[in-house]
């Protein structure tokens, strides 16, 4: 069953929220409280004797246990929330505000808050069932429910210990870069999935080059915002059903307004309002860019960390080196995937121009070059990254693009650097690499 674009956007937004998992855990705690209460109604204290501890607890003691658990846990939950906000503020200030979503999506933070709030709600609901005996009613102590509350309290202590360890881990720049690197790898695999057979994109999409734009029906967005998801499968099915050919002009990550043509459509008959609405339903727009279907956004986050790390106020070259290593991994993975996937995802009726290796390389190097060139050590490392990426490429436009970026970085460093020893080291590195290229029959760097 296919999920429409708007539903996909809702799922992505929900997974990125901080409230969904804790809310589900609170709901589970409410259900657990009623189940535990029914068990205590069905079985008396004498039935449970010998099987459970705490069966001798009196109403006063049960109230004290539950009150202590509820009061202490909600206090710890407040502290946990405060620590989470401090971590988010720190990450936003040091690594960029666009990383906030990564912390909001962190399952460790969500589960910790959910356990604390769920335990509090459970203890509160069980507390209302405890009653002492008087002339009208008999005493009732939910022994099994109290035992479950104690178990949840112990689990909360364990989660607190885990959370104290987890928060420093989440704001460790090495872990942040590694997480973004894995997101980049995942995005590239989505962009170029493994296929059993390769098709020639030129043959499949030959009509794109000869399509008459003046004869096309131009579909405009009805609202302004960033494209967050595009349902290519739904678009392909609609094109098959209505004998249409479609070129998608804007992809996830692009900002569009009602003045923008998001797709051009060719068909034998005029599109009515319903058909245009169905085409627009394959897009989902939002207020900000996301990592879904958007490899460039993930790469830009790593570049942003490099820019902040190399700013005069921070000057942390080792963080920049870490990010460059993960960018290298993504570029090498991208080069391999693009070599193995000749045709974009979809069918021959719908053309969506995918992100290319050259475009991603230009985005990364163009954003990082001016910051990297300020430090000799980082410049040398980025040169080595480009050399490694070039080694994974065959002769052609992509290799030429890497070598061009190599020369651009070299020239920028020679202009910006003031330390003669660093300048000479970079010159020597380029000279050595040029000799290596010429020995392989290549002309060297431009």
**If you write DSSP's letter for every residue of 57-74 in order, what string do you get?**
--HHHHHHHHHHHHHHHH
pTM equals: 0.83
Task: Please tell me the predicted confidence (pLDDT) of residue 197.
Answer: 46
Task: Please tell me the predicted confidence (pLDDT) of residue 2.
Answer: 45
How confident is the model over 185-225, as pLDDT tens digits? 998 888 776 654 444 444 556 778 778 888 899 999 989 99
What are the residue ranges spanned by the domains of the chain?
A: 5-171, 202-286, 292-341+355-439
Task: Please tell me the predicted confidence (pLDDT) of residue 353.
Answer: 79
Q: Which tokens go with 163?
A: 């959370």
Task: Please tell me the predicted confidence (pLDDT) of residue 198.
Answer: 45
Q: Which tokens go with 221?
A: 């967005």
DSSP three-state, residue 274: helix
Q: Which tokens go with 439?
A: 């020995």
Strand extents, DSSP E, 244-286: 245-248, 255-256, 261-266, 283-286
Q: Which tokens go with 282?
A: 């394959």
Task: Please state whether beta strands 245-248 and 217-220 pair in parallel, antiparallel, or not at all (unpaired).
Answer: unpaired
Task: Please tell me the predicted confidence (pLDDT) of residue 46.
Answer: 57
Task: Please tell me the predicted confidence (pLDDT) of residue 23.
Answer: 93
Q: State the residue for tokens 């029906």.
A: 217
Whole-number average pLDDT of the chain: 85
Whole-angstrom Cα distance, residue 302 to residue 95? 9
141 neighbors 57 (Cβ within 8 angstroms) = yes
Residue 385 has pLDDT above 80, yes or no: yes
Q: What is the largest CA-CA distance in the chain?
A: 102
Task: Please state whether beta strands 217-220 and 255-256 pair in parallel, antiparallel, or not at all (unpaired).
Answer: unpaired
Task: Please tell me the predicted confidence (pLDDT) of residue 446.
Answer: 83
Whole-angstrom Cα distance, residue 210 to residue 69? 72
Identify the CATH number of the domain defined by range 202-286: 3.90.1170.30
Task: Please tell me the predicted confidence (pLDDT) of residue 347.
Answer: 61
Task: Please state whether beta strands 350-352 and 245-248 pair in parallel, antiparallel, or not at all (unpaired).
Answer: parallel
Task: Please state whether beta strands 225-230 and 283-286 pair in parallel, antiparallel, or not at all (unpaired).
Answer: antiparallel
Residue 292 φ/ψ, nearest 5 degrees: -75, 130
- Of 133-137, 290-294, 376-380, the one with minimum mean pLDDT is 133-137
Residue 353: Cβ within 10 Å count: 13
Task: Please tell me the predicted confidence (pLDDT) of residue 199.
Answer: 47
């Amino acid at each position: 069953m296919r999920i429409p674009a708007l539903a996909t956007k809702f799922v992505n937004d929900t997974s990125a929220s901080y409230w969904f998992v804790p809310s589900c855990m609170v709901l589970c705690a409410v259900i657990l409280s009623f189940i535990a209460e029914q068990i205590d109604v069905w079985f008396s204290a004498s039935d449970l004797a010998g099987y459970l501890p705490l069966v001798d607890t009196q109403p006063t003691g049960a109230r004290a246990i539950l009150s202590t658990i509820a009061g202490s846990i909600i206090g710890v939950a407040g502290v946990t929330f405060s620590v989470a906000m401090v971590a988010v503020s720190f990450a936003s200030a040091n690594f960029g505000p666009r990383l906030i979503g990564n912390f909001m999506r962190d399952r460790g933070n969500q589960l910790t808050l959910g356990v604390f709030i769920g335990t509090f709600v459970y203890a509160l609901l069980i507390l209302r069932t405890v009653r002492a005996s008087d002339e009208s009613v008999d005493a009732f102590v939910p022994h099994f429910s109290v035992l479950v509350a104690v178990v949840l309290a112990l689990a909360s202590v364990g989660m607190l210990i885990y959370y104290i360890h987890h928060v420093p881990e989440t704001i460790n720049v090495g872990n942040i870069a590694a997480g973004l690197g894995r997101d980049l790898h995942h995005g590239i695999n989505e962009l170029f999935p493994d296929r059993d057979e390769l098709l020639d994109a030129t043959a499949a999409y030959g009509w794109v080059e000869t399509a008459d734009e003046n004869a096309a029906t131009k579909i405009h967005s009805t609202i302004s915002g960033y494209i967050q998801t595009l349902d290519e499968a739904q678009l392909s099915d609609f094109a098959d059903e209505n004998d249409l050919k479609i070129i998608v002009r804007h992809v996830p990550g692009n900002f569009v307004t009602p003045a923008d043509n998001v797709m051009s459509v060719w068909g034998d008959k005029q599109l009515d309002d319903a058909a245009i609405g169905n085409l627009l339903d394959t897009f989902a727009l939002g207020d900000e860019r996301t990592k879904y279907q958007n490899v460039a956004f993930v790469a830009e986050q790593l570049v942003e960390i490099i820019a902040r790390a190399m700013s005069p106020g921070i000057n942390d070259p080792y963080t920049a080196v870490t990010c460059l290593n993960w960018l290298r991994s993504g570029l090498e993975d991208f080069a391999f995937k693009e070599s193995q996937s000749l045709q974009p995802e979809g069918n021959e009726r719908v053309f969506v121009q995918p992100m290319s290796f050259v475009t991603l390389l230009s985005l990364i190097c163009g954003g990082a070059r001016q910051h990297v060139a300020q430090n000799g050590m980082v410049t040398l490392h980025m040169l080595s990254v480009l050399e490694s990426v070039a080694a994974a490429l065959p002769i052609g436009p992509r290799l030429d693009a890497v070598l061009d970026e190599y020369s651009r970085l070299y020239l920028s460093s020679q202009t910006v650097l003031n330390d003669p020893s660093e300048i000479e080291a970079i010159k020597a590195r380029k000279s050595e690499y040029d000799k290596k290229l010429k020995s392989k029959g290549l002309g060297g760097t431009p």
